[in-house]
Each structure stands twice: as C-alpha cells, then as structure tokens.
Amino acid sequence: MILGNSHFVKSPVQSQKYIWLAEYFDGSYLTEYDLENRKTNSFYDIDKERLIRFGLIGCGNQIYFDVANGIFNVNRDRIMISYTANGVDYPLTGRTFLYNDIIQFKEAVADANIFSKQNSSGRLHSNITAHAIGYKKAMELAGVDIHFQTILHLPLDQPAYLQIKISSSQDLSGKLIVRMNGLVASEIEAPLKANMAGIINWTP
C-alpha cells in the first residue's frame, strides 16, 4: 500500500510537484511517473474496475479518496459530505457505492514574449499552477436522484479547497454538511432547485 504510507510523499520528477497515483485491490498501482524509472503513464490507462484508491503525492503530502466510499483523506484527515433537508439525511459519501468515475486535471499558465526575437519559434513556456482530483457520482437516496461531484483543488502556494457540485431531481431546502474526522466542520445553507446544479467551494 502506498496511499496511507507516509514514506511516499514526494514526486519522483523535479518538473512536477505532485503526481497522481492509482492503487488497485491486489496491491499493485499505477503512477503518473514511474517511481523508479520516471516513465510517464497515461491517466487513460487506469483500470477503474480494480481501483480502490486514487490521489496525489508530493511536497510532503498525500491527498486521496477511497473508491469504496468516496471519503477524502488529506494527510490522514478524513472528509465526509452529506446533505440534510426536512429531517432527512442524504449521505453523499460514506456509502458502499463505487466512486470510480475519477477526475484529474491540472491548471497551467503559459508565458511568451511575442516581441522577442528569441521567441521566433513561437514556443510558450508553461507552468502548472494547480492540481485537482475528484470524482462524480449519480445515486438514489431516500427516493431522490442526486448527481454529486467533488473535486479537491490544490493550488501551488495557496490553500487547498474542495469544490462540491450537487443537483437533485426534486426541490430541496437544506444544508450541506462537511465533517472532518467524524466531527461537523461546516454547515452550509444550500437550497436546491430540481435539476439545477449548485456549486460550493469549501476550504478545510
């Protein structure tokens, strides 16, 4: 096991501070850059059917989620999300669903001096400014169809934040509940209109 093992917290390449890592139920794994030979692997080569954990390692951090329940682990802090309305609790994470519709992307900026003779080739110099991982999931809870997406954004040199997107097949006037290590960290008023998505950015 790599995710959950504090020895694996560094990117194997200097050009990228974080790399993604997919861990499988048989103990094998796939990393964006091979930890030994630094060979590049494709995100599309991840076997989602065997996946048990997906995350990022780098800069002394491990950030990942468990595919079996959708719970995020940020350096051993566990983040759970639910929605409550009219006395009904809709647990968006922590259920025995498969959260294997995974998402991974990077944000980058490119710089170029178009007036410089040295840039006559037209090349742009790009720098990664943020990494992001997460998943999306459609589920039925207490007779309500819910579409749920959560993405953890990791901007370099800025606080991380969790982007939570949720939509419902019914109007709901409720709250989004974020728990950290089992304790309520935030209660956010989040009324939902049927078939319209609401987005909240939450900072741990």
With vertex at residue 184, the alpha carbon angle to CA 195 and CA 94, rounded to the nearest 5 degrees, is: 60
Going from the C-alpha of 110 to that of each of 123, 126, 128, 129, 158, the distances in angstroms are: 10, 4, 9, 10, 19
DSSP 8-state symbol, 170: S
- Residues pairing with 136 in the sheet: 149
pTM, to two decimals = 0.89
Going by C-alpha positions, the residue among 72, 190, 61, 41 that lies closest to residue 135 is 72
Q: Is 9:61 a contact under the CB 8 Å cutoff?
A: yes
pLDDT tens figures, 111-129: 666 555 555 555 666 789 9
- The strand pair at 102-111 and 88-91 is best described as unpaired
List phi, psi (to 5°) of 119. Answer: -105, 30
Q: Is 18:32 a contact under the CB 8 Å cutoff?
A: no
Residue type, 94: G
Q: What is the pLDDT of residue 6?
A: 77
Q: What is the pLDDT of residue 81?
A: 97
Q: What is the mean pLDDT of the chain?
A: 91
Q: Concatenated DSSP letters for 26-42?
A: TS-EEESB-TTT--B--
Burial 44-60 (b: 16+ CB within 10 A, else e): eebeeeebbbbbbbbee
pLDDT tens figures, 137-167: 999 998 899 999 999 999 988 899 999 999 9
pLDDT tens figures, 21-67: 999 999 999 999 998 899 999 999 999 999 999 999 999 999 999 99
CA 123 remoteness from chain centre: 31
